[in-house]
Amino acid sequence: MPTTQTQGRREFLKGAATGLGLGTLSAMGIFSYSPMRAFFLPEAERKMADFGTCKSVKVTNISETSWFDNSILMGDIKGAGGLLVNQYDYNWAPFGDGSGLAKGSYERGIAKIKHLLPNHLEEAWEIIKTNSVNPDNAGGFAALVEIESLEGKKTKYLLDSGWSYAWMDECFKREGIDKMLQNNEIEALIISHEHFDHFWGLPVTMKYAPNIKIIIPEGFYKEGLQYIKDSGHTGEVVVAKKGRNDWEPGFCTYTFDVPIICRVFGEQSLFVNVQDKGLVSITGCCHQGIIKFADTAYKELKYDNDQMYGLYGGLHISPFEDWDPKYDDLVISLGKWDFQKVGCNHCTGLLTAQKFIRAGYPVVEGTAQHRSKSKAYLGNGDIITFG
């Protein structure tokens, strides 16, 4: 018996031969963005790995403001030699050693503050401000992910720990994360990737819960591994290997084997299967690309209703608001997955979020508070619930 896809190819080719034709379709620009293009691709083998089901997932945006001024950050990167430079060499906070832009090192920078970590962050930040390039521009990304099991038990995970000690401590206190950590209410700290704005604020988490379990993706460099120790961590460090890693029924992470700018490697994203709803995809930055992100879930995972239900986080489409027409392909491609609820922010880029809204995608708007720039995406302090 021919498959549905094979039948579709035949019907399309028959129609093309008797009427419109491929050349006309291509000239109209329809073929590239229609399901027709899939007819000429091999059928994907779906593994449909069953990782269980949960009742709901709630995400609290602690901070999506990685930095406060794009022009300052890009000026630093350009002046230091570009996006391929080792991030620990920029001389950014907290590893500034007073030697100037692009002359830094992890070893010299951490030596100035290590004795103050993690309990004397205010004193450490004063030293950092004196020795670092543009320390006031540092912000950070972090979110609280709360999984509710089918039995009603709620488990909290901290996704990333931001960048600036001062900014992240303020955000933690604003959302009550400090108390949750102190009371051991948070199961683990999940680091999406080693980038400065997701990882360098680690001592803020250590200040309140030095023994918390930390889950990092495979691919961390020696500086990042050493920083975990130098930050005062006393708990377990788990390396999430490439591919799927299961943590509890209905919740897994997936480590993507991807090279990233500023000499970082590997990103870990979150997948949650919500009963009777479908798959919720949560990402820190999505450096692997939104298409690979969604396509991997489709090929690898089994989820309710075979429905891509929710999407949250940074999608890394024009994060510096430098729109390129090719990004429109990514905006269009999002529709293929039929997400029912989208909460975007951070490196998604404001222009991207606005285009999602104009395209009619179910974007959940925010409140534009606590220094977030727009209601077009979920900003600092905003909450989204799936299921």
DSSP-assigned letters across all residues of 267-297: EEEEEEEETTTEEEEEESS-TT-HHHHHHHH
238 belongs to a structural domain: yes
CA distance 214 to 182: 16
Is 295 found in the same domain as 159?
A: yes
Q: What is the pLDDT of residue 327?
A: 87
Omega prior to 118 cis, within 30 of 0: yes
Is residue 211 domain-resident? Answer: yes
Please tell me whether residue 316 adopts helix, strand or coil conformation. coil
277 vs 61: CA distance, rounded Å: 22
Structural domain boundaries enclosing 16: 4-40
One domain for residues 284 and 329: yes
Please tell me whether residues 34 and 146 are part of one structural domain.
no
Residue with tokens 């390396």: 239
Query: Looking at the structure, do residues 53 and 35 belong to the same domain, yes or no?
Result: no
| CB of 199 closer than 8 Å to CB of 193 | yes
Please tell me whether residues 19 and 57 are part of one structural domain: no
Return the H-helix or E-strand segment holding 334: helix 327-334
> Do 309 and 333 sit in the same domain of this protein?
yes
Pair 280, 57: CB distance under 8 Å: yes
Residues paired with 148 in a beta bridge: 56, 154
pTM of the model: 0.89
Cβ-contact 140, 198 below 8 angstroms: yes
The answer to whether the CB of 202 falls within 8 A of the CB of 226 is no
74: in domain: no
Is 367 among the domain residues? Answer: yes
CATH number of the domain encompassing residue 287? 3.60.15.10
Neighbours of 30 (CB within 10 A): 13
158 and 185: one domain? yes
Same domain (yes/no): 208, 348: yes
- Domain count within the chain: 2
In 3D, which of 251, 284, 250 has the Cα closest to residue 267? 284
Pair (228, 369) in one structural domain: yes
* Residue 82 covered by a domain: no
Does residue 106 belong to any structural domain of this protein?
no
Q: Are residues 36 and 55 in the same domain?
A: no
- Indicate whether 130 belongs to any domain: no
Distance of alpha carbon 160 from alpha carbon 314, whole angstroms: 12
d(CA 307, CA 321): 31
Residue 291 domain-assigned (yes or no): yes
CA atoms within 13 A on the CB side of 308: 22
One digit per residue, the tens of pLDDT, for the chain of length 387 reads: 444 444 443 343 333 333 333 333 333 333 333 444 444 445 668 999 999 999 999 999 999 999 999 999 999 999 999 999 999 999 999 999 999 999 999 999 999 999 999 999 999 999 999 999 999 999 999 999 999 999 999 999 999 999 999 999 999 999 999 999 999 999 999 999 999 999 999 999 999 999 999 999 999 999 999 999 999 999 999 999 999 999 999 999 999 999 999 999 999 999 999 999 999 999 999 999 999 999 999 999 999 999 999 999 999 999 888 888 888 988 998 999 999 999 999 999 899 999 999 999 999 999 999 999 999 999 999 999 999
pLDDT of residue 322: 84
